[in-house]
Amino acid sequence: MIVILQNHYAEFWEGLKVTFWLSGIVWAFGLVVGVVLGLLAARWTILFGMPVRIFAVLLAAVPALVFMFWFHYPFQMSLNIVVDPFITAASSLSVINVVLVANHTLQVVGNFPRQYITAGRLCGLSDARIVWSIGMPIALRQLLPGMLQIQIVMLQSTLFASLISVDEIFRVAQRINSQIYKPVEIYSLLAVFFILICVPLNLLASFLKSRFSRDLSRS
Amino acid sequence: MLTASGLSKSFGGKLVFQDVSLKLEAGTITTLLGPSGSGKTTLLNVLAMTDVASSGEIDIDGRLFAVANDGWSAKAPRPELTKVDQRLGLWPNMSLRQNIVMPLQARGIKDLSLVEELVAELKMSTFVDRYPNQVSVGQQQICAFVRHVVLKPKYLLLDEITSALDVEYVSRILGRLKVLSGTGVAILLTTHLIGFARQSADRVLFLDGGRIVEEGPSEVIDAPKSRRFGSFLSMVMEAR
């Protein structure tokens, strides 16, 4: 494994950069647009809330790969355009991430325990103070674990981009394997890469979930 | 004085209480008794103006609050009128001490002597720096009580705040309630502890079927006039 890594260091590094770049775009779009959309959906339940819920249900039913392929072939064919596969992958995965994050935000904000807000009002706190000192910290703690899980799934979903010819880490690994045929070593290396990234994120998500969700349920 | 007149409340066509009128006078403790589901909590929510009545009005020291467009006609005076909710609403992201101090700091109050006095009086020093999830429900109830008391309200509504407290703590809370009423605070509380009601109340109200069936001085607990109140009291006594 070490020898393969030494011999193909540059290619792996290029693949990793594409994976990180793709994940970065998908995460940034999903987190920023998704949270804003989720807040809008919680505020205007018909105008934004219903579409978010419907899209979330539909996207949960359609595999990410099918969604990406749909963006790559039929969508571009029907508009008679050709889009760079990287942009196609980034767009389709970003849409999925936006909807998942928006739906998660909607659930958390929609189920926010009203008694905390009421207690703030009864204590004479201003609305700004209630949002800043009570609403935001509590909502963030409820949002974070689920949000991290979604981002881990999105990172893993970037592998699908290899199927529409994006040179990310999985496609690079496939190419190297076709040259030297060492599948056990190459795909183990790929697994190690994902373990190094996803395990700490998963542990962080579990920690946040046990640390904060339990607190909220008892008080 | 807080005067409620003709308050009614219904949810989706189901009547919770109807035509309730009552007065909360400065320096008096009023106890609201009634079976579970009789509308005590909803009535307290309406009186605290965290919930809106279907009809009726509330007069607080000459300021009239009427029902208008599914809301109250004016903003409730806070924290002059406040309520300790049955669910307490302690903020889980803060320690108990922060729960108590933060509203004071938000109002620019730097003198925390009353906080320290109550922490000592109610034996809170062993748990006041813990988070809500790290203490018992009874300790949470004490903290919620203190959080609202230090705001020096004129009207203090308490919904079942002694339900998880032992006899010793009930006695301490009772002592503080007497001090508060002695300083002119008007208190309305609900409880299922008849002994606590008897000792604390200047006036007693019995709510049943959405109406105040009986009211009078605390002596009515020992000599109820209405058959319904009498049967309620005897059932509570038997259950103990």
Q: How far is A120 from chain B (nearest CA, A)?
A: 8
Residue A123 to residue B147: CA distance in whole angstroms:
8
DSSP string, B164-175: T--HHHHHHHHH
Taking only the tens place, the pLDDT of each residue in B182-236 is 999 999 999 888 888 888 899 999 999 889 999 999 899 988 888 899 989 888 8
DSSP string, B49-74: TSS--SEEEEEETTEEEEEETTEESS
Taking only the tens place, the pLDDT of each residue in A3-47 is 888 899 999 999 999 999 999 999 999 999 999 999 999 999 999
Is A17 within 8 Å of chain B by CB? no
Taking only the tens place, the pLDDT of each residue in A159-174 is 999 999 899 999 999 9
Question: CB distance B133–A215 less than 8 Å?
Answer: yes
Contact present, A124 and B151 (Cβ < 8 Å): yes
Q: How far is B212 from chain A (nearest CA, A)?
A: 26
Question: CB distance A119–B133 less than 8 Å?
Answer: no
- For residue B82, list chain A residues with Cβ-Cβ distance below 8 A: 122-124
The beta-strand segments (E) located in B104-163 are 155-159
Low-confidence ranges of chain A (pLDDT < 50): 214, 216-219
Q: How far is A132 from chain B (nearest CA, A)?
A: 12
Question: CB distance A125–B93 less than 8 Å?
Answer: no
Question: CB distance A219–B103 less than 8 Å?
Answer: no
Contact present, B213 and B38 (Cβ < 8 Å): no
Closest-CA residue of chain B to A134 = B91
pTM as predicted: 0.80
Is B107 within 8 Å of chain A by CB? yes
Question: CB distance A123–B132 less than 8 Å?
Answer: no
Residue B171 to residue A164: CA distance in whole angstroms:
73
